[in-house]
Chains A and B, each alone.
Chain A
């Protein structure tokens, strides 16, 4: 399967713990996006990368959140000192800059539950 892959699919953690999510984009895609989605809401933009450069970060991305894409391939999203309000689905998407459609390809998401 050559789609966007996210791991783990589900994570349950206790408040105060750190968690890390990984996203493997479609191999030739140079852009990678992270979104957060809570129940009944649309996806909220968090950050995106073009190759290894982090080009934009939402104000939603507090200093407890950090994202990396060290070699311009996979990306990690780390949440430190988790809070119950961090419980959400974290979605990763990738795209290829220069295509006429600008279509985003989404992974299935990583669901975080903070107890």
Chain B
């Protein structure tokens, strides 16, 4: 089945640093979504990038998509302690159903 695989599994940085997370997937997609999950909470949609887009920005987030390599990256600039969370990429399956990998657990130390 199609699901994103995030890398690294865990990332620890200091406040103010940038955090980069990568995602790989297997089959062709029309779009790819990124979600964030704070500990013990539900997932929250961050950003969607379409297959005809190479890069997209939203506030401190920058997402890239390389369809030839079947990969995406999420960059969080000037990280804050509140960015501490797990981050998941979600390439859609048939019927727009989303499946999730193990995520990247980001810890931002104050």
Contacts and interface: CB of A to CB of B under 8 A. Distances in A.
Contact of A4 (B35, B42, B98, B99): B42
A104 B42 CA distance: 11
Contacts of B48: 101-103
A108 B42 contact: yes
Contacts of A102: 31, 33, 48, 92, 96, 98
A105 B88 CA distance: 14
Interface in A30-87: 33, 35, 40-45, 48, 55-56
Nearest to B30: A102
A25 interface: no
A106 B102 contact: no
Contacts, number: 60
A42 B102 contact: yes
A104 B43 contact: yes
Interface in B63-87: 86
Interface residues of B, number: 23
Contacts of A104: 35, 43, 45, 98
Nearest to A109: B42
A12 to B, nearest CB: 16
B41 A109 contact: yes
B45 A42 contact: no
B30 to A, nearest CB: 9
Assign chain A's interface to a size class. 20 to 34
A91 interface: yes
A103 B34 CA distance: 10
Nearest to A42: B100
Given A41-B102, A42-B103, A105 B45 contact: yes
Interface string B97-110: 11111110100000
B95 interface: yes
A108 B97 contact: no
Nearest to B96: A102
Interface of A: 4, 33, 35, 40-45, 48, 55-56, 89, 91, 93, 95, 97, 101-109, 111
